[in-house]
Amino acid sequence: MRCLVLFSSFLILIQCSPYPRNDYVKNLHKKWEHYLGDPGRSHYSKLSEFNTENIKSLKIAWEYESKDFGQMQMNPIVVDTLLYGVSSALRAFALDARTGKKVWVFNDSKNTSYSNSRGVSYWESSKDKRIFYTVGSDLWALNALTGKPILSFGKKGKIDLRSGLPTTSKEKFVISTTPGTIFKDLIVMPLRLSEGAGAAPGDIMAFDVKTGKLVWSFHTIPHQGETGYQSWGNPKISESNVVGGANSWAGMSLDVDREILYVPTGSAAPDFYGVIRPGKNLFSNCLLAINANSGKLIWHYQFTHHDLWDRDLPAPPNLITVNHEGKSIPAVAQITKQGYVFLFDRATGETLFNVEEVPVPESDLPGEQTWPTQPIPVKPAPFARQSNDLTDEDISPYAPDRDSLLLLFKQADKRRYAPPSLKPVLLLPGYDGAAEWGGAGADPDKGILYINSNEMAWFLQMKSTEVFGREVSKAEQLYLQNCASCHKANRTGLPLSGYPSLVELKSRFSENQIQEIITRGKGMMPGFPQLSMEDNQMLLEFLTDNSDINDAKEMIQDNTEKEFNFSNQAYLPFQHTGYKKFLDKNGLPAISPPWGTLQALDLNTGEYIWKVPLGETNSLRNLGYPTTGCENYGGPVVTENGLLFIAATKDGYIRGFNKRTGSLLWEFKLPAPAFATPSIYSVQGKQYLVIACGGEKLETKKGNKIIAFALEENINEN
Domain endpoint, select from 285, 316, 347: 316
List pLDDT tens digits, range 350-405.
Answer: 999 999 999 999 999 999 999 999 999 999 999 999 999 999 999 999 999 999 99
Q: Is the pLDDT of residue 8 over 90?
A: no
Cα–Cα distance list, 424 to 182, 411, 421, 480, 549 (Å): 44, 7, 7, 20, 27
467 near 561, Cβ under 8 Å? Answer: no
pLDDT recorded at residue 716: 63
**Which DSSP symbol is given to 619?**
H
pLDDT recorded at residue 701: 96
* Closest residue by Cα to residue 72 from 102, 135, 131, 115: 115
Three-class SS of residue 620?
A: helix
pLDDT recorded at residue 491: 74
* Closest residue by Cα to residue 416 from 256, 304, 313: 304
516 near 114, Cβ under 8 Å? Answer: yes
Query: Which string of DSSP letters, residue by residue, matches 316-327?
Result: PPEEEEEEETTE
319 near 329, Cβ under 8 Å? Answer: no
- For residue 200, tell me if it sits in a domain: yes
Q: Is the pLDDT of residue 514 over 90?
A: no
* Closest residue by Cα to residue 647 from 639, 658, 657, 655: 655
- For residue 483, tell me if it sits in a domain: yes
pLDDT recorded at residue 236: 62
Q: Mean per-residue pLDDT for 430-437?
A: 97
611 near 662, Cβ under 8 Å? Answer: yes
List pLDDT tens digits, range 212-261.
Answer: 999 999 999 999 999 999 999 875 665 667 889 999 999 999 999 999 99
- Among the listed ranges 146-155, 180-189, 463-472, which one has the minimum average pLDDT value? 463-472
Q: How confident is the model at residue 684 (pLDDT cuts 50, 70, 90)?
A: very high
pLDDT recorded at residue 5: 38
Q: Is the pLDDT of residue 558 over 80?
A: no
pLDDT recorded at residue 572: 79
CATH number where 536 lies = 1.10.760.10
Domain endpoint, select from 287, 316, 345: 316
668 near 56, Cβ under 8 Å? Answer: no
**Which DSSP symbol is given to 412?**
S
- Among the listed ranges 9-13, 166-170, 182-186, which one has the minimum average pLDDT value? 9-13
Residue 503: count of CB within 10 angstroms of its CB: 15
List pLDDT tens digits, range 86-106.
Answer: 999 999 999 999 999 999 999
Cis bond before residue 375 (omega within 30° of 0)? no
Three-class SS of residue 523?
A: coil
- For residue 302, what are the β-bridge partners? 286
* Closest residue by Cα to residue 640 from 477, 413, 448: 448
- For residue 188, what are the β-bridge partners? 181, 206
Looking only at the bridges linking them, the beta strands covering 341-345 and 355-359 are unpaired
113 near 89, Cβ under 8 Å? Answer: yes
Q: Domain range holding 294?
A: 119-316
**Which DSSP symbol is given to 683?**
E
Q: Mean per-residue pLDDT for 526-551?
A: 65
More confident residue, 527 or 88: 88
Give 89-109 as a 3 state SS string. CCCEEEEECCCCCEEEEECCH
Report phi then psi at 24, rounded to 5: -60, -45
Q: Is the pLDDT of residue 617 over 50?
A: yes
CA distance linking residue 663 with residue 609, whole number of Å: 12
Q: Is the pLDDT of residue 554 over 80?
A: no
CA distance linking residue 266 with residue 202, whole number of Å: 9
pLDDT recorded at residue 241: 72
Q: Mean per-residue pLDDT for 112-133?
A: 91
List pLDDT tens digits, range 264-288.
Answer: 999 999 999 999 999 999 999 999 9
Q: How confident is the model at residue 469 (pLDDT cuts 50, 70, 90)?
A: very low
Looking only at the bridges linking them, the beta strands covering 637-639 and 44-45 are parallel
| Cα-based angle 347, 352, 355 (whole degrees, multiple of 5) | 120
**Which DSSP symbol is given to 551?**
G
Q: Specify the number of domains making up the chain.
A: 2
Q: Is the pLDDT of residue 710 over 90?
A: yes
CATH number where 219 lies = 2.40.128.630
Q: How confident is the model at residue 537 (pLDDT cuts 50, 70, 90)?
A: confident
pLDDT recorded at residue 497: 52
Q: How many CA atoms lie within 13 A of 125 on its CB side?
A: 7
Q: How confident is the model at residue 28 (pLDDT cuts 50, 70, 90)?
A: confident
pLDDT recorded at residue 112: 56
Averaged pLDDT of the chain: 88
- Among the listed ranges 244-248, 513-517, 596-600, 645-649, which one has the minimum average pLDDT value? 513-517
Three-class SS of residue 123?
A: strand
Cα–Cα distance list, 177 to 22, 249, 435 (Å): 32, 7, 18
Q: How confident is the model at residue 509 (pLDDT cuts 50, 70, 90)?
A: confident
Cα–Cα distance list, 448 to 348, 440, 451, 599, 610 (Å): 21, 10, 10, 10, 11
Give 357-388 as a 3 state SS string. EEECCCCCCCCCCCCCEEEEECCCCCCCCCHH
- For residue 306, tell me if it sits in a domain: yes
Q: Is the pLDDT of residue 473 over 90?
A: no
Q: Is the pLDDT of residue 417 over 70?
A: yes
Residue 410, H or E segment? helix 402-411
Query: Which string of DSSP letters, residue by residue, matches 488-512?
Result: -TTS--BGGGTB---TTGGGTS-HH
Q: Mean per-residue pLDDT for 619-625?
A: 93
Cα-to-chain-centroid distance, residue 591: 24
Q: How confident is the model at residue 503 (pLDDT cuts 50, 70, 90)?
A: confident
526 near 193, Cβ under 8 Å? Answer: yes
Residue 662, H or E segment? none
Q: How confident is the model at residue 480 (pLDDT cuts 50, 70, 90)?
A: low
CA distance linking residue 668 with residue 671, whole number of Å: 10
- For residue 708, what are the β-bridge partners? 62, 690
Q: Mean per-residue pLDDT for 566-580?
A: 72
- For residue 537, tell me if it sits in a domain: yes
Q: Specify the length of the chain in residues.
A: 718
- For residue 683, tell me if it sits in a domain: no
Give 433-488 as a 3 state SS string. CCCCCCCCEEECCCCEEEEEEECCCEEECEEECCCCCCCCCHHHHHHHHHCHHHHC
- For residue 262, tell me if it sits in a domain: yes
- For residue 304, tell me if it sits in a domain: yes
Q: How confident is the model at residue 536 (pLDDT cuts 50, 70, 90)?
A: confident
List pLDDT tens digits, range 578-596.
Answer: 999 999 999 999 999 999 9
CA distance linking residue 311 with residue 359, whole number of Å: 17
Q: Mean per-residue pLDDT for 336-343?
A: 98
Domain endpoint, select from 289, 316, 343: 316
582 near 426, Cβ under 8 Å? Answer: yes
- For residue 207, tell me if it sits in a domain: yes
Cα-to-chain-centroid distance, residue 279: 25
